[in-house]
C-alpha cells in the first residue's frame, strides 16, 4: 500500500511540477517503517556518506565505482539528503512488494538526518568526510556537528571510513563499536602543506591530539596536477593514474574517499582498473564545477557554502581570470547567517573584478568584495535578470558563477531551459 501511494504521489507531483520529497512524505505517513522493510537484506549492505563538504560528489563517485564492479547500486541521485528524499528516490526503482532490487545502497545524508536514517535502518558502512563551519544556524557549533558524525559511526555495523587529516573526524575511531572495521583516507605526507586549502584552522586545531599512522588499507592521495592523481595503499598497491573531469584538490580527495570505501566493501573483488575507469567517466554533479556550453563559451557553475569551500573554489577555479558573477542567497538551505563571507579572501578576483553580484545578499556580497579591493561592475538581486545581463554582456568569453545552494538551483534551472540541459527536481537538501 505504501509503495502504491508513493508511486501515485510521484505521478501527481511530476504533473504539477512539485518537489521531489513529496512521495517520500506520503510513504512515511502510510508506513513509518518503510525504510527498514525496503532496505532489508541488501547483499552488500547500506553505505551512508556524510560530512560537511563533498557528500554529493563523493556519493556519485562511489556509486560509479561499485557499478563498474558489476553491482546493482541504489543511490539518491538528486542529492536529496533527508530521509523522505531517500524514500522518494526509491519509488521509481522499487517493486510493489516493497523490496528494492539492488545489491547495495549508497546514500548521501546530511549530518543531522543521517541519525534519523540510522534510527530506522542501521548502516553497514559509513564514510565520514569532514567537519567545517557550514550553516551554523542549522547545526550549531563544529563540536555538535562532529558529535552527529560520531553517533552515526556508533550505529554502523560493518565498517567506517574516516578522514585522517581532519582531527574531529579521525578521532571518531574511539567511538566505533568493537568488531567494526576502520579505515582512513587522506593526503600523502608529501603534500600535507596543501591541507589549509581545504580546512579551516579551527577545524584542524585540536589540543595535542596526534593523527594515526596510515596502514596498508588506508588510501592516500598523491596528485600529479589539478586533475590527475594516484591513490596509494601502502604495500597493497596503487590505484591510478586517474584523470578526473572535475578540477581541484577537493575533487581528488573525494575520489580518494570513494576509492578507499569501495576497497573496504569489495575486499578481494576490488579491481584497480575498474576503479580508474569509473572515476574517469564521472561527470561533475550539478553546480559542483559543472561546465555548461553557453552559446559556444564555457560557463562554470561553482557551489560555495562556507569559508573552506569558497576558499577552495577560488583557488581551484579563480586562478584564471574570467568574467565572474557571485550569487549569494540566505534561504534556509543556504544558512541564514552569511557573516562567514568575511572569513574568505577574495584577493584572487582583484585582477579582473566581478561583473555582477546577485541573490538575496547581492549588496552584502558587493560590500564584502569592496573590503578586498575587488571591483564590482553591477549589483542585481534578481537572479533571472542578473543571469540575462551576465550572459549578454560577455558573449564571447569564458564565464564563471560562484553561488550558494538555492541560488545554484535557480540558476541551473534557468540555464537548463536556455540550453536544453538535463535538469533535476526540487531538492530539499
**Backbone dihedral region of 196: left (phi > 0), alpha (psi from -120 to 50 degrees) or beta?**
alpha
d(CA 59, CA 65): 10
Residues in the chain: 429
At 403, list the grid cell. 553561488
At 387, list the grid cell. 543571469
With contact defined as beta carbons under 8 Å apart, do 73 and 106 qualify?
A: yes
Q: Which of 202, 337, 373, 382 is catalytic?
A: 337
User: What's CA 296's distance to the chain center, in Å?
Assistant: 28
Three-state SS sequence of the chain:
CHHHHHHHHHHHHHHHCCCCCHHHHHHHHHCCCHHHHHCCCCCCCEEEEECCCCHHHHHHHHHHHHHHCCCCEEECCCCCCCHHHHHHHHHHHECCCCCECCCEEEEECCHHHHHHHHHHCCCCEEEECCCCCCCHHHHCCHHHHHHHHHHHHHHCCCEEEEECCCHHHHHHHHHCCCCCEEEEEEECHHHHHHHHHCCCHHHHCCCCCCCCCCCCCCEEEEECCCCEEEEECHHHCEEEEEECCCCCHHHHHHHHHHHHHHHHHHHHHCCHHHHHHHHHHCCCCCCEEEEEEECCEEEEEEECCCHHHHHHHHHHHCCCCCEEEEECCCCCCCCCCCHHHHHCCCHHHCCCCEEEEECCCHHHHHHHHHHCCCCEEEEECCHHHHHHHHHHHCCCCCEEEEECHHHHHHHHHHHHHHHCCCCCCCCCC
Is 165 an annotated catalytic residue? no
Catalytic residue ranges: 337
Amino acid at each position: 500500500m505504501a509503495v502504491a501511494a508513493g508511486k501515485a504521489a510521484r505521478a501527481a507531483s511530476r504533473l504539477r511540477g512539485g518537489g521531489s520529497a513529496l512521495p517520500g512524505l506520503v510513504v512515511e505517513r502510510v508506513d513509518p517503517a518503510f525504510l527498514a522493510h525496503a532496505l532489508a537484506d541488501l547483499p552488500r549492505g547500506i553505505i551512508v556518506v556524510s560530512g560537511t563538504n563533498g557528500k554529493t560528489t563523493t556519493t556519485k563517485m562511489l556509486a560509479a565505482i561499485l557499478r563498474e564492479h558489476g553491482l546493482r547500486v541504489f543511490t539518491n541521485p538528486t542529492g536529496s539528503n533527508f530521509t523522505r528524499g531517500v524514500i522518494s528516490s526509491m519509488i521509481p526503482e522499487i517493486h510493489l512488494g516493497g523490496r528494492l532490487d539492488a545489491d547495495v545502497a549508497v546514500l548521501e545524508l546530511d549530518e543531522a538526518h543521517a541519525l534519523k536514517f540510522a534510527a530506522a535502518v542501521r548502516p553497514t558502512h559509513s564514510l565520514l568526510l569532514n567537519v567545517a563551519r557550514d550553516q551554523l544556524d542549522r547545526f550549531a557549533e563544529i563540536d555538535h556537528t562532529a558529535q552527529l558524525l560520531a553517533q552515526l559511526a556508533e550505529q554502523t555495523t560493518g565498517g567506517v571510513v574516516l578522514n585522517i587529516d581532519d582531527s574531529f573526524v579521525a578521532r571518531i575511531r574511539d567511538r566505533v563499536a568493537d568488531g567494526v572495521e576502520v579505515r582512513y583516507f587522506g593526503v600523502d605526507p608529501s603534500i600535507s602543506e596543501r591541507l589549509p586549502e581545504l580546512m579551516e584552522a579551527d577545524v584542524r586545531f585540536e589540543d595535542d591530539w596526534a593523527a594515526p599512522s596510515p596502514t596498508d588499507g588506508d588510501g592516500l592521495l598523491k596528485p600529479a596536477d589539478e586533475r590527475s592523481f594516484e591513490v596509494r595503499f601502502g604495500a597493497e598497491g596503487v590505484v591510478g593514474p586517474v584523470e578526473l573531469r572535475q578540477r581541484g584538490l577537493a575533487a581528488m580527495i573525494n575520489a580518494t574517499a570513494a576509492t578507499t570505501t569501495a576497497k573496504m566493501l569489495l575486499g578481494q573483488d576490488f579491481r584497480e582498473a575498474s576503479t580508474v575507469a569509473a572515476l574517469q567517466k564521472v561527470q561533475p554533479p550539478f553546480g559542483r564545477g559543472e561546465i555548461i556550453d553557453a552559446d559556444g563559451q564555457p560557463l562554470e557553475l561553482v557551489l560555495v557554502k562556507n569559508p573552506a569551500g569558497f576558499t577552495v573554489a577560488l583557488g581551484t577555479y579563480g586562478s584564471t581570470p574570467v568574467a565572474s558573477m557571485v550569487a549569494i542567497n540566505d534561504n534556509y538551505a543556504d544558512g541564514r547567517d552569511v557573516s562567514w563571507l568575511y572569513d574568505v579572501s577574495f584577493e584572487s578576483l582583484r585582477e579582473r573584478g566581478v561583473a555582477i553580484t546577485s541573490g538575496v545578499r547581492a549588496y552584502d556580497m558587493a560590500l564584502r568584495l569592496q573590503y578586498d579591493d575587488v571591483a564590482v561592475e553591477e549589483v542585481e538581486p534578481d537572479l533571472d535578470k542578473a543571469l540575462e545581463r551576465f550572459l549578454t554582456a560577455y558573449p564571447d568569453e569564458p564565464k564563471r558563477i560562484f553561488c550558494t545552494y538555492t541560488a545554484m538551483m535557480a540558476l541551473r534551472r534557468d540555464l537548463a531551459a536556455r540550453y536544453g540541459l538535463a535538469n533535476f527536481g526540487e531538492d530539499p537538501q
